[in-house]
Amino acid sequence: MTIRVAMAQLDMLVGDIKNNTESVIAQSHIARDEQNADVIVFPELTLTGYPPEDLLLRPSLRPRIEAALAQILEQVHDIYVVVGYPREIDGELFNCAGVFYQGQILGEYCKQKLPNFRVFDDKRYFQEGNTACIVRIKGIKVGLSICEDIWHPEPIAQAKEAGAELILNLNASPFHIEKMGVREQLLHRRASENQLPIVYVNYMGAQDELVYEGGSFVVDAQGVKVIQAPWYETGLYCVDFTIAEDRQPRLEPVSGDIASTLDVEASVYQAMVTGLRDYIEKNRFKGIVLGLSGGIDSALSLAVAVDAIGADRVQAVMMPYTYTSSMSLEDAQEEAKLLGVEYSVLPIEPMVAAFMETLASEFEGYARDTTEENLQARTRGVTLMAISNKKGYMVLTTGNKSEMAVGYATLYGDMVGGYSVLKDVFKTLVFRLCRYRNSLGYVIPERVITRPPSAELAPDQIDEDSLPSYDVLDEILHKYIEQDMSAEAILASNEFDRETVYRVLRLVDLNEYKRRQAPTGVRITERGFGRDRRYPMTNGWHIGD
């Protein structure tokens, strides 16, 4: 006897229960009629999209979900549908996975392990389940689990004890660097310790700062991966299970394909493209406008924008001032030409002069300082927002994580915008990503990558005039932000001098107020500036503590 399971690796729109439900129905019909699947498995909370956040608190959630479940039961037959959704049971909300067949709910599982760390807030919304759910599908005892359950030994062991011969695991597991390999090691451990094959179905797409890269896969009872869906692609991917006389399911992948693991640069770049594309399309922006300075950050941001939505929907604007070098003008023009985008040159000198004239009486008696530099950045921000308002294009900001960490950015200036693809990308990784993008096709001029980075807000200015070298800065930031190391713990490695460490950490803490006002952006590390890291702006914490 053979059972064919289709893994539905799909991109859903959060809150769009109606269209998400219709997609479940349509994909179930395709799996049944075109792929001869017996079972189709969808990701966690498919009907609401993930994460629905406080939409789960809306009074109308319950009737909408009940109507969606009734629609699936009525319109899908002759295939087992395993789908995730929130459901109110006896006045309490649970994160559920149900098995539907021939107009009936054969079983319903409630997620037992509710993550409440980093980007996850499950305990804010859901109650914990406490029992296994075993459903017979063509004679096989199938156990269900949902995402975080697989990260703990108890739920799968409980399902095994209840008689499970196969585990279907529904996921909305967001991307971060190295996550791909961690998942594979985890499934190997869970499968081998319970001697159970596991089908791991993951979400695909992006929701605000979170990206889901797909990569659904199946391991056999020894934990060996036998099939893996592509990364960053939607689709239905099938695996066959043959039941032997000893009742052990034997896996026979339909295609036998195992997608290659992406290296760091490829996976991060695809995450940025996916995050930006979904943000633009799901929020129905006509296109993207960004300031193109001739520097490396805006060059990489432009490449991501074009790869995300196409050159015909992207406008690059060079806004030169007195300190803008001819090299920057030339490089920006070349980038725009190489990528085929609309390109405008709008000098800001007359606007800055008008501001300075208006403010002359207020500035009288004060020495020139960063105020004048910030005026340049804010003039550019006003210009981009005007284009955005007029054309319906979203402003894409171009600042990176290193800059945002230490406040090397201007409020209402270069921080203006609706989304940032570099928000969680350290400067040293920006350089590597530019090299990676050029390996796919030359779009970023070589000297943009090799020249010393500069904001060009003052004569002969370079970033290292006011910051440590990025190699040093990024390593300190990584230890402080992502590893939560104290100043003294960082110094214990004897890699950095005390003054530099304390200065960097002080800048990070002082600039929390700026980051709170920054646009959202793609999360690529385990500790991004967003849902991951919630520090008080006003506090008396001492760095040395």
Q: Are strands 92-101 and 104-110 parallel, antiparallel or unpaired?
A: antiparallel
Q: Are strands 217-219 and 198-201 parallel, antiparallel or unpaired?
A: antiparallel
CA within 13 Å, CB half, 113? 17
Residue 105 backbone dihedrals phi, psi, to 5 degrees: -95, 110
Q: Which residues, in sequence order, are bridge partners of residue 291?
A: 317
Structure tokens given for 450: 């090799």
Separation between Cα atoms, residue 425 and residue 127, nearest integer Å: 35
**111 annotated active-site:** yes
Query: In which element (H, E) is residue 84 found?
Result: strand 80-89
Q: Is 355 exposed, middle or buried (0-12, 13-18, 19+ CB in 10 A)?
A: middle
Separation between Cα atoms, residue 139 and residue 116, nearest integer Å: 37
Cα dihedral 261→168→244→33 (10° resolution): -90
Q: Are strands 235-243 and 314-318 parallel, antiparallel or unpaired?
A: unpaired
CB 537 within 8 A of CB 513: yes
**44 annotated active-site:** yes
CA within 13 Å, CB half, 56? 24
Structure tokens given for 70: 């009734």
Separation between Cα atoms, residue 121 and residue 193, nearest integer Å: 29
Separation between Cα atoms, residue 25 and residue 365, nearest integer Å: 71
Separation between Cα atoms, residue 388 and residue 417, nearest integer Å: 9
The catalytic residue among 96, 110, 111, 514 is 111
216 residue type, one letter? S
The catalytic residue among 96, 110, 133, 147 is 147
Maximal C-alpha separation, the chain: 92
**499 annotated active-site:** no
Helix then strand count (H, E) for the chain reads 17, 20
Give the angle 171-520-382 at the CA atoms, nearest 5°: 160
Separation between Cα atoms, residue 174 and residue 250, nearest integer Å: 30
Q: Which residues, in sequence order, are bridge partners of residue 335?
A: none
Structure tokens given for 293: 């300075």
CB 478 within 8 A of CB 493: no
Select from 419, 20, 5 the least CA-distant residue to 203: 20
**Active-site residues: which are they?**
44, 111, 147
